[in-house]
Copies of this chain bind each other. A is one copy, B any other.
C-alpha cells in the first residue's frame, strides 16, 4: 500500500486516553515498522461512539510520549476528533495505517457501536486509510498485553502489505490469555448480542437523585462464526466493519409500503 521508498506513516489513537497502558503497548509493538505519530485524547473517552465536537472548542498540545522518534499530541476531543485533527491539522501527508487501542476491554459484538476505539478506526476508513481497532478482553489497568503485542504486530504487517478491504476497517479483539494459549486469528462476523441496562439511583449531598448506568451483556447468537464464539475459544477475532449503514436487503420490503405524503 505505502510508497516503498519511505517508511509507512502510522497514526495511533485510542479512547482510554494518552496515558493508558494499552496505547503504550500498541506504540511499542509497531515502532520499528514505520514512523509513528500519536494523537489521542487527554482523558478517558470510552463509550463516546462516533461523537464529534461541533458545539464546543477543542484544545490540543504536544505530549512527551518518552519514546525516541514518536511524535505525540493530546487533545480535549473524542477519538474521532483526534483522527480529524491528525489528518486535517497535524500531519503533512495521509497516514498509511491507522491503529486504535489497545482498548482495555472488549469491543466485540454490538459493543462496536458504542466504542470510541472502533469509531476512530471507522473514521480512518472513511478517509481511505487502512485502519484497525485493537481491544483486549481485560479491563484491568495492569492487564497482560503480551499476546496483544504479538497480534498487533502480526496484523499491522499484513495491513501494510494488503491494505484493508474497500470501505471497511478491522475490529480485532484479543482474548484474555497468555500468548501460548492463543489458538490463532479468525475472521468473524459481529455476534448478535444485547445489553440489558440498569440505572443505579444515588442521592447527591443536596438530596437530588442521580443515576449511574450499569448493565449486563448477553450473547444471543448460537453461531460458531461470530467474534464472541472465537473469543470464548481463545481465538483472536477479526471482524471487517463497514460505514455504509444501509440495510440494502430491506429496501424491497419498504418499497411495498404506502409512501404517499398525506397532509
Contacts and interface: CB of A to CB of B under 8 A. Distances in A.
A212 B154 CA distance: 38
Nearest to A212: B57
26 contacts: A47-B55, A48-B49, A49-B51, A50-B113, A52-B213, A57-B210, A57-B212, A87-B197, A113-B122, A154-B259, A155-B259, A162-B257, A166-B250, A168-B247, A182-B261, A184-B259, A186-B259, A187-B251, A187-B254, A190-B245, A236-B261, A238-B254, A240-B246, A241-B246, A242-B247, A242-B250
Contacts of A89: 199, 211
B199 A85 contact: yes
B253 A114 contact: no
A51 B54 contact: no
B245 A113 contact: yes
Number of this chain's copies in the assembly equals 2
Given A150-B262, A211-B60, A254-B187, A55 B46 contact: yes
A83 B202 CA distance: 20
A256 to B, nearest CB: 9
Q: Which has the most chain B C-beta neighbours within 10 Å: A49, A167, A190, A196?
A: A49
A14 to B, nearest CB: 15
A255 interface: yes
B245 A197 contact: no
Q: Which has the most chain B C-beta neighbours within 10 Å: A58, A199, A209?
A: A199
